[in-house]
Amino acid sequence: MQITGKTKVTGIFGYPVEHTLSPLMHNAAFNALKIGFCYLPFLVHPENLDSAINAIRALNIVGVNITIPHKEKVMSFLDEIDEEALFIGAVNTILNRERKLIGYNTDGRGFMKALEENKIEVKNKKVLIIGAGGAARAVGYYICKNATSLAIFSRTRQKSDKLADDFKKISNCKIYVEDSIKETGTFDIIINSTPLGLKDNDPLPIKTENLSNQQAICDLIYKETPLIKEARKRGCKTLNGIGMLLWQGALAFKIWTSKEPPVDVMRKAIETAINP
């Protein structure tokens, strides 16, 4: 990649930011299309978020991704927020349109694209989401508009109740909170949106004995988690978090460039980084 006076800058604001795979994915895509964009990591301390957002305007940055811990707080510094991001209560992508900053959230749509390309159909299905944080909200936003039923199970009942109440406002699907999951076999699709599985000694988020080849088991964590391994052993269709990461990035790419993202190039960049 050659940086010139015409190079358009994008990037990611996070704290920490060192772990992110997004620069690899986006720079590979910009290189492939030769469109004169670059993508940089910016370590933004929470107390500097306001100034960093102003710098998008001041430095004529085309757009940025927003990651932990800024996704919610950033909303108060933007000029406009799209409907989906407003519902989710978090922004992961900003577009600078002539100094007007517009916030989007591409996580939920990214997950749906990953399901679609793996031929996991949500329509008329019974779905269970484990966890009730930001990712559960982003993913559930689309699930609840398509599924027959959506169960939410998380360790903090108050959060599951709030999420279920909010989903009920936007969908006609049967939405309910589970206090414990005994019958994992009754769901068509199960989605782990907790960090359980990131660490080697984490317990499984659900019991896996009753899983069968009629079910799809999804984990939002990028790596091959014990849940995904167990589910595969039982013949389930499985999906890890790489697809969601890829597609949320591809959707952001399109927002910034108005061009079709080279998805295969982006996928290869992420997969090579995860499994060198």
Instruction: Please say which residue, 11 or 131, places its beta carbon nearer to ligand NAP.
Output: 131
From 71, 126, 237, 259, active-site residue: 71
Q: Three-state SS string across the chain, please?
A: CCCCCCCEEEEEEECCCCCCCHHHHHHHHHHHHCCCEEEEEEECCHHHHHHHHHHHHHCCCCEEEECCCCCCHHHHHCCEECHHHHHHCCCCEEEEECCEEEEECCHHHHHHHHHHHCCCCCCCCEEEEECCCHHHHHHHHHHHHHCCEEEEECCCHHHHHHHHHHHHCCCCCEEEECCCCCCHHHCCEEEECCCCCCCCCCCCCCCCCCCCCCCEEEECCCCCCHHHHHHHHCCCEEECCHHHHHHHHHHHHHHHHCCCCCHHHHHHHHHHHHCC
Least distance in angstroms from the C-beta of 26 to ligand NAP: 14
CB closest to ligand NAP, residue no:
133
Q: Does residue 126 carry a catalytic annotation?
A: no
How many angstroms separate the CA atoms of 181 and 127, rounded? Answer: 13
Q: Which stretch binds ligand NAP (CB under 6 A): 49-57, 152-160, 231-239, 262-270?
A: 152-160
The β-bridge partners of 38 are 9
With binding defined as CB under 6 A, does residue 14 bind ligand NAP? no
Q: Which stretch binds ligand NAP (CB under 6 A): 96-104, 131-139, 250-258, 262-270?
A: 131-139
Least distance in angstroms from the C-beta of 225 to ligand NAP: 9
Among 241, 261, 262, 267, binds ligand NAP (CB under 6 A): 241
Least distance in angstroms from the C-beta of 166 to ligand NAP: 14
The β-bridge partners of 37 are 8
Least distance in angstroms from the C-beta of 131 to ligand NAP: 4
Instruction: Please say which residue, 113 or 125, places its beta carbon nearer to ligand NAP.
Output: 113
With binding defined as CB under 6 A, does residue 162 bind ligand NAP? no
Among 101, 135, 217, 250, binds ligand NAP (CB under 6 A): 135
Among 141, 248, 251, 257, binds ligand NAP (CB under 6 A): 248
With binding defined as CB under 6 A, does residue 147 bind ligand NAP? no
Annotated catalytic residues are: 71
Q: Which positions lie near ligand NAP, rule CB under 6 A?
A: 107, 131-136, 154-156, 159, 193-196, 198, 220-222, 241, 244-245, 248
